[in-house]
Amino acid sequence: MRTRRDNSSLIVQVPAKINLSLRILGRRDDGFHDLETLMVSVRMYDSIRFDLQESPLVQLTSTSLLPNEKPLPNDDRNLIIQAAQLLQRTTETRSGAIIHLNKRIPSEAGMGGGSSDAAATLVALNQLWELNLSQEKLHQLAASLGSDLNFFLDSNVAAICTGRGEIVTPVRVKRPLHFVIVKPQSGLSTADVFKHWTAHSSPETPHHDEIVQALESGGLSQISWLVTNSLQGSARNLSREIEKSLELLDQHDIVVSGMTGSGSACFGLCRSRKSANRVARKIQSLGVMESWAVTSGV
């Protein structure tokens, strides 16, 4: 997460994420799922401008910089508004904000764009409204909004996330990782994908110590073995585009392919930045789906 001042405005750039591994452990009594996932931040950014408003009104506008994206809601269906209103209720501040989102991270893709934007809102409005909430308090608020927000709050490059995703353990990455991302025109609802998950559809997945060892070694063959996703089976059942995306990636020069989060975006791990750029250009030229080359980092 990158924050800068522009006169009286606060501008925040927030990255996307890829789930290199995602292991669903089971359903919880509260309706959520226990999971264990390795998240990696990638350098694809939403940019959000925050301006102070003296009235308590919070206004959101957005511009999509992606083709074929559905318009985003600008009311309390949007996590940005939910995060701002949560801060207002928690602190009883009478301040408001005018917020504009430039959207580069695709929606309904499993790349954490909504969570990343909400985390940025907590950080930015804590500064803009001079609330002086501690990082610990921001983490508590983030966990109440969604499972992925805590990962983005501390600008982690990589972390193992457990619980329902809100317990974050940073992991050192020895070398930058280079990916090609492909995104079909249609997205997938996270709730729908989780609803269709069954335990018998989940592949065997690596555990904590194996993940840490692979990332610290930096060997692509070891890292490629981590790429598994318990939700891939249910996502495939909901969208044939998942299988097409993975097949398309596997036709090119990549180390391994996988689906991130609950989809619909898929990724290929590449040997170098040059290779990732080359593969992304080839796939984009086919005109069947959007493709980007990205590198790990915040």
Active site residues: 17, 148
Question: From CA 148, how far away is CA 154, in angstroms rounded?
Answer: 12
Query: And the tokens for 91?
Result: 């602190």
Contact present, 233 and 256 (Cβ < 8 Å): no
Residue spans of alpha helices (H) in 39-172: 79-91, 113-128, 135-145, 149-153
**245 appears as a binding residue in the annotation:** no
**111 appears as a binding residue in the annotation:** yes
**186 appears as a binding residue in the annotation:** no
**143 appears as a binding residue in the annotation:** no
**109 appears as a binding residue in the annotation:** yes
**163 appears as a binding residue in the annotation:** no
Contacts with 242 (C-beta within 8 Å, 6 or more apart), sequence order: 184, 232, 235, 236, 259, 263, 264, 266
**142 appears as a binding residue in the annotation:** no
Question: From CA 276, how far away is CA 210, in angstroms rounded?
Answer: 26
**233 appears as a binding residue in the annotation:** no
| Residue matched to tokens 């969208």 | 239
Cis-peptide into 47, omega within 30 deg = no
**108 appears as a binding residue in the annotation:** yes
Residue set of the binding site: 106-116
Residue set of the binding site for ATP: 106-116
